[in-house]
Amino acid sequence: MSDVLISPSILSADFAALGQAVADVDRAGADMIHVDVMDGHYVPNITIGPAVVKALRPHSAKPFDVHLMIAPADPYLEAFVEAGADYLSIHPDASPHTHRSLQTIRALGAKPGLVLNPGTPLSVVEPVIDLLDMILVMSVNPGFGGQSFIDSQLVKIEALRVMIDATGRDIVLEVDGGVNPETAPRCIAAGASALVAGSAVFKGAGSLSDNIAALRSAPAVNASAAA
C-alpha cells in the first residue's frame, strides 16, 4: 500500500492559516496537495479562487491537485494553471465541450483530469480517456467535507481500473470523499492509486504525519471484499 499517493484536501484545514497548513502536510509526507475550488453554483459551497492558489503555491513544491467544482469551468482554466495547478480536474457537466476543455488544460501546461460524481456514468470517460492524466471518483456528492463514503462507488473504481489498464497509460485513479483508514484499503483494493483525505488528515486523532501514515498502512483487504 506504500505506492498509493496521498493528497490531503486543504478544505479541512484552518482557512486562517492555509499557507502553514500546506507547508505542514508537505513536511508530514503528502504526495500532492488537493485544492477544492467551489463556486456556490455548481455545488452549494464557496471556497477559493486562483489568487489564493497562487498565494499558496510557494508553500510547497509538491504537485497541486486542483479540483474545479465550478460551472462554467472553461473561463477559469488558464487562471488556475497560471496560479500553479499541476493537475486540473473538471466535471464533464461543467463544460459544454469536455474534449476541448481537456485539450486546453494540456495546452496550458497542466495535466488534465475528469471528475465523476456518484451519479455520473462511466460512459463519459471512454471518448476522452486518451486525453486524461487523472480520473477522480467522487465517493460522496461534491460540495462539503466530512461526508460518509458511498460504497457503490467501489464498483466504479474497479471498472475504471480495467479501462485505465487497457490503455497502457499511467493515469492516476483518485478517490475523494469519506476516505479514512477504514475505507482507504477498500479503495486501493478496487484499483485506486491516489486518495484524497481532508478530515482524516487534518482532523484525525494523531499528528498530520501519523494520520497520513495511517492511510498508507491501513490493513489490506482482498479485492473481492472491496464491494
CB atoms near residue 110 (< 10 Å) = 24
- List residues forming the annotated binding site: 9, 34, 36, 67, 143-146, 176-178, 198-199
Reported as a single tens digit per residue, the pLDDT across 1-26 is: 358 999 999 999 999 999 999 999 99
Q: What pTM, to 2 d.p., does this model score? A: 0.94
Looking at residue 35, which CATH number applies to its domain? 3.20.20.70
User: Which of 7, 4, 1, 48 minimizes the C-alpha distance to 25?
Assistant: 7
The residues annotated with a catalytic role in the active site are 36, 176
What confidence score (pLDDT) does residue 1 get?
39
pLDDT given at position 63: 98
Specify whether the CB–CB gap between 184 and 195 falls below 8 A: yes
- For 46, list phi and psi in degrees, rounded to 5: -125, 130
Which of left, alpha, beta for 111 (phi over 0: left; psi -120 to 50: alpha)? Answer: beta
Range of the domain at 167: 5-226
DSSP state of 55: H
Question: Which residues of the chain carry a pLDDT beneath 70?
Answer: 1-2, 218-227
Per the structure, the count of domains in the chain is 1
Between CA 46 and CA 125 the distance in angstroms is: 27
pLDDT of residue 147: 82
- Residues belonging to the binding site for a divalent metal cation are 34, 36, 67, 176
